[in-house]
Structure 1
Amino acid sequence: MSLWTAEEAAAATGGQAVGDWRVDGISIDTRSIAEGDLFVALKAARDGHDFVAQALEKGAGAALVSRRPEGVGDDAPLLLVDDVQTGLEALGRAGRARTDARVIAVTGSVGKTSTKEMLARMLSDQGRTHSAVASYNNHWGVPLTLARMPRDTEFAVIEIGMNHPGEISPLAKQARPHVAMVTTVAPVHLEAFDGIEGIAAEKAAIMDGLEPGGVAILNADIAEAPILQSVAKRVTRDVQWCGTGTGPIAPTYHLTGTTLRGDETEAEVTLPNAQTHRLHIQSLGAHFAMNALGALACLAALDLDLAKAVQSLSLWSPVTGRGARETVSLGAGQGEILLLDDSYNANPTSVAAALAVLAATPCAGRRIAYLGDMKELGPQEQRLHSDLADLDAVQALDEIHCIGPLMGALHAALPADKRGGHYATSDDVRADLAGQIAAGDVVLAKGSLSMALAKVVDGIRELGHGEATF
């Protein structure tokens, strides 16, 4: 069965279909478009209308446009709408409305993508599951994910993010979740908010979209939990709290113990009915245990098989750029290094978690970190960078290399025996890597996306031949 017919898509968007077409997928990028996709001509860095002809040449089944592009024939399969972004949102709402899927929406300053992936892995063993790819969590990513949802979907996981106030609520109302989860609140995007309290209020707005009788899954350990609680009281009677019992609100889902062993994490959890489970996670990090507890609470809210969910969780591992672990062979007889690729993004909370993982990772050589600037932190940015030097995990590290002008504050604050180089860009680091890393070392790469720490990761791989460990 096709994802969308011309008639269905026109009815959903109020647009005009040109031709009698059917599409099996939706794409916004001609580089990855598949035959039979609907190409959505969004305006971003460039106008998507400039690529419609190319998309059709590559086999696109139709294109969603606001005008007939140049070089496109009169008989080309199109869906003409007044505005492409608005049309995509309408298609997303229709995609959500036509399924009986039980929907979980996830937001949070840290951990939302990992939690989304955990949920998708756990749910896929209990029914037909649909989730966002990568971090499609913004004004086009959420409606795109909803519009891509197959008709027969049983479970869906929608990730929702933000950079500025007022972004989450409309996206949550498009997703209409049965379960809404906030992983945590942290000082991220501070330059757009008056303080962390404003960030907490924005994250809480995910509950604006809850379906009647919906469930909120919230973090009990954070200081901002009362802000989440005040919003939850207005929108639902069913609020479940996850935590260790050290925060301002008593958890209903209790993380009673976390053990980091080798490259794995084990967690003991107690549920509201006093049932206990031991969670096994194929990655190192106490933050993964908290995310997994929240994911388990989401499945409990949907009355699913928790024992099976725990088994499914044990098969999950982080995706590239978000804590994935990789061994890099330095060549025959020259040994290996362990690479911790957490290069996708960074903020004070996630950097602290990543350094704690590096400090806890067994190591025959040295523990080395490459840290790039953390962006969008507002007036406190210099202090938030220098404060990283005071983390307990730093004492267990051998060398920290700093990348970018903001990381200069950390470089200056580090103890002399921990201080590596200070570089302007990731390209500069890449040129020096060969003399900095040796067999037996464990190496972390972490920074905001714009700092391109992925180049450092690629440079480390080039020292040998990368091989994923899971």
Structure 2
Amino acid sequence: MTPLWTAKAIAAATGGVASADFTVKGVAFDSREVQAGDLFIAMKGEASDGHFFIDKAIAAGAAAILCETHIDHPHVKVADSAAALGALGTASRNRSHGHIIGVTGSAGKTGTKEALFAALDRFRPGRAHRSVKSYNNHVGVPLSLARMGSTMDYGVFEMGMNHAGELAELTQMVRPHVAIVTTIAPAHMEFFADESAIADAKGEIFEGLQADGTAILPYDSPHYARLRAKAEQHAAHIVSFGLGEGADVRAVDWLADGQGGSIVTAQVQDSLLCYSIAQSGAHWVANSLAVLAAVKAVGGDLPAAGLAFAEMAGLAGRGARHRISLERGTARIIDESYNANPASMTATIKQFGDESGGRHIAILGAMKELGADSDRYHAELAPPLIAAAVQFAVLVGPEMAPLAKALERDMELAHVPDHAAAKALLRSLIQPNDVVLIKGSNSVGLSHLVTALTSGEF
């Protein structure tokens, strides 16, 4: 098997000095994630210093260390480990012969990235690479690049931002052949004047497009024209996707399959494709259209993509479904605990209303980084919750006070300060046949509820 990196290649990429000849088959900067044969990158951060965890990484099986000091283990010594990680990511991109796809957007980045990987890996098994988890920032992107093998035919990279200029830097590192914007919605609003400014920041992804590159845009977005104007400055090809008439890749028809997913008939430019999506909601239909547009742009196989959609299980924190055992029956849990903004919250609540089952309980965590309009955005969740006929709402976090006030006459609810209080309440609340939606910004910690519910604590 071809090694991911040799000591010589690492030293050449980073300007470092190798202590010995070695090879590695993976890269990690968190000692808790080190696997046997990995290169551990010891970086100095604001809260901790990775050099303190070198022995732990070696014990976990690290084959070598990238660090700023001499150690008694195989290593490459560099002046700055963080800069060296960036250089390693750039070197990986430079040696790649594959088609590179970048994905950004206010919502749907990770799901779209995972679906793209599944579609391309089904077409070329073992020849597709993608960023793991939500490693999409100035550290996660170069790490994901550094992990890409030189023989990969496809690389799919998620790119995030919370301020202007961030994507411009990341896309110059990724240099995609295809760049996707999934959607534009209020997110990180405390750093932007309005949604148009968010659209401009997301549009920075097109600045890194390679010659003959393709920009894939959300046709149904009110910011479509703005995104298209930006794309026209950098892209040789522009493809729109959406549910509306006029999109280049659009859903001609779609309906619920009765099992939580959808059956879709899509026009993909000159091709017609019928496929099933295991994931639920109109947003997943839209995500699938963006994926199909990208698959076609890089010469992938559309039927293979259709099969991949049907096989995709829910992602932890992003739609995973669990059935838990209670004393006198079972309840169903929908885990959307990783992220939340007004658009994704509204879409998820709407879909929740279509779920079959007994009592519908919504456990909703605060939406973070919404700036001066935070109260309004939270209060505006009341109509979707009422329309979805939610029987009980557990609202978590102080930012949820406006929503609690808006719902007090229309719904049974509890407003609690944190996930620990929500967990205590759930013990007496949850009953057999309940359907429970758990959604909120990751920092609220609602994933702890999911863990408790699925580990048998209830």
Shorter-normalised TM-score: what interval? over 0.9
- Map 1:5-16 to 2 at 5 A: 5-16=6-17
Question: The residue matched to 1:136 in structure 2 has which SS?
Answer: coil
Does 2:54 correspond to 1:52?
yes
Instruction: Give every structure 1 segment of 4 or more consecutive aligned residues whose post-TM-superposition deviation is greater than 3 Å.
Output: 392-395, 462-465
Please state if 1:330 is matched with 2:326: yes
User: Are 1:157 and 2:156 matched, yes or no?
Assistant: yes
Are residues 171 and 296 of structure 1, via their aligned partners in 2, closer, same or farther at CA, if it must alter by over 3 Å? same
Cα contact 1:284–1:361 (8 A) shared by 2: no
Aligned amino acid, residue 121 of structure 2: S
Residues 464 and 427 (structure 1), Cα distance of their counterparts in 2 relative to 1, 3 Å cut: closer
CA shift digits 1:273-300 (9 cap, x unpaired): 1x22223111211100000010011001
In the alignment, what sits opposite 1:104?
A: 101
SS of 1:234's equivalent? coil
Residue 337 of structure 2 aligns with an amino acid whose one-letter code is S
Structure 2 residue corresponding to 1:304, chosen from 300, 304, 310: 300
Q: Does the 8 A contact of 1:114 with 1:318 survive in 2?
A: no
Matched residue SS, 1:314: helix
1:395 is displaced (CA, Å) by 4.1
Is the contact between residue 398 and residue 417 of structure 1 (CA under 8 Å) also seen in structure 2? no
Q: What is the match of residue 131 of structure 2?
A: 132
Partner of 1:123: 120
* Match for residue 253 of structure 1 among 249, 258, 277: 249
CA distance in 2 between counterparts of 1:174 and 1:189 reads 23
Deviation at 1:459, TM superposition (A): 3.0
Alpha-carbon offset, residue 462 of structure 1: 4.9
Alignment of 1:370-449 (within 5 A): 370-391=363-384, 394-449=387-442
Show CA shifts across 1:357-378 (max 9, x none): 2111111x11110001100000
Select the residue among 290, 314, 318 that pairs with 2:314. Answer: 318
Query: Using the alignment, how far apart are the partners of 1:245 and 1:237 within structure 2?
Result: 24
SS in 2 for 1:125: helix
Q: CA deviation at 1:440?
A: 1.0
Secondary structure class of the residue paired with 2:247: coil
Identity of aligned residues (%): 38
Deviates more, 1:12-21 or 1:175-184: 12-21
| Other-structure match for 1:40 | 41
Structure 1 length-normalised TM: 0.93
| Cα separation, 1, equivalents of 2:364 and 2:385 | 16
Unpaired segments ≥5 residues, structure 2: none
- Give the conservation status (yes or no) of the 8 Å contact 2:439–2:446: yes
Change in CA separation of 1:393 and 1:182 when aligned onto 2, cut-off 3 Å: farther
Moved more, 22-31 or 293-302: 22-31
Give the whole-Å Cα distance in 1 for the aligned partners of 2:313 and 2:214. Answer: 27
> How far off is 1:463 after superposition?
5.4
Q: Aligned pair count? A: 453
The residue number in structure 2 matching 1:168 is 167
Rounded Cα–Cα distance in structure 1 between residues aligned with 2:142 and 2:368? 26
Compute the displacement of 1:428 (Å).
0.6
Matched, 1:349 2:343: yes
How far apart, CA to CA, are the structure 2 residues paired with 1:189 and 1:43? Answer: 26
1:185 Cα deviation after fit: 0.6
Q: Distance in 2 between matches of 1:359 and 1:62?
A: 51
Calculate the TM-score normalised by the size of structure 2: 0.96
Aligned twin of 2:177:
178
> What's the secondary structure of 1:391's corresponding residue?
helix
> What are the Cα deviations for residues 246-294 of structure 1, in whole angstroms up to 9, with x where unaligned?
6xxx311112223123311122211221x22223111211100000010
Contact 1:66–1:83 (CA under 8 A) maintained in structure 2: yes
The Cα of 1:58 is off from its aligned counterpart by 3.1
Q: CA deviation at 1:458?
A: 2.4
Contact between 2:322 and 2:454, CA under 8 Å: does it hold in 1? no
Unaligned runs of 5+ in 1: 466-470
Equivalent in the alignment of 1:468: none
The answer (yes or no) to whether the contact 2:13–2:88 under 8 Å persists in 1 is: yes
Q: Is the 8 A contact 2:106 2:182 kept in 1?
A: yes
CA distance in 1, matches of 2:381, 2:69: 51
Distance in 1 between residues matched to 2:292 and 2:154, nearest whole Å: 14
Q: Which amino acid aligns with 1:15?
A: G
